[in-house]
Amino acid sequence: MNKNELFLKYNFAKKMLETEISILMEEFVFLHGYNPVEHIKSRIKSEASIIKKLEKKGYEKTLANITKIPDIIGIRIVVSFLTDIYDVVATIKKSKNLIVKKQKNYVENPKDTGYLSYHLIVAVPIYLAGKTEYVDAEIQIRTIAMDFWATLDHKIQYKFSNEIPKEIKEQMYENSLIIRELDERMLKLNEAVNSYIKE
């Protein structure tokens, strides 16, 4: 397998995943009369990012080792409220086309940086040369507030070539707690609004 063939497979898998997520979310809206999704973004890692990840993992820079990285393809689903995260996760798990291989709940168990999100590693089927193959991809599900924090955290981290200063880390972690509290408050507010509508 050469590089062009490998990235063709990643491109096919990204399109399959985008289509499957779109169908699952449309079905959710049909069944529940409510759309939990604010927006969806997808990407394939650049070659520079892949090389950096291989180096970080201690792998040689070979095509075979690239397939050991499960998040070459990434899709981020940004939702409105905390409970929407779990609704979307449950919907994805019911998919007949995606195989959930791994999950990490950073919503209940944040990273030591304060990072909050729900990650799924899924195997995506692709059909190439008359046979079915599976390609790994990562799905991240988070609220708008979590996405705001993660985007700024990412930008701040890339400003430091070495270790991030302790006081900066501590402030980012404190801000993540505020984000979590805000999500909980907005969820309660939404529940209050819904109770008025039902009356």
* Tokens describing residue 154: 């990412």
- Provide the 3-class DSSP secondary structure of residue 52: helix
Q: What is the CATH number of domain 3-151?
A: 3.30.460.10
Average pLDDT, the chain: 92
CA distance 63 to 85: 34
> What per-residue confidence (pLDDT) applies to 199?
63
CA angle 109, 138, 80 (to 5 degrees): 60
The pTM (predicted TM-score) of the whole model is: 0.91
What are 103-118's pLDDT values in tens digits? 999 999 998 889 999 9
Domain ranges of the chain: 3-151
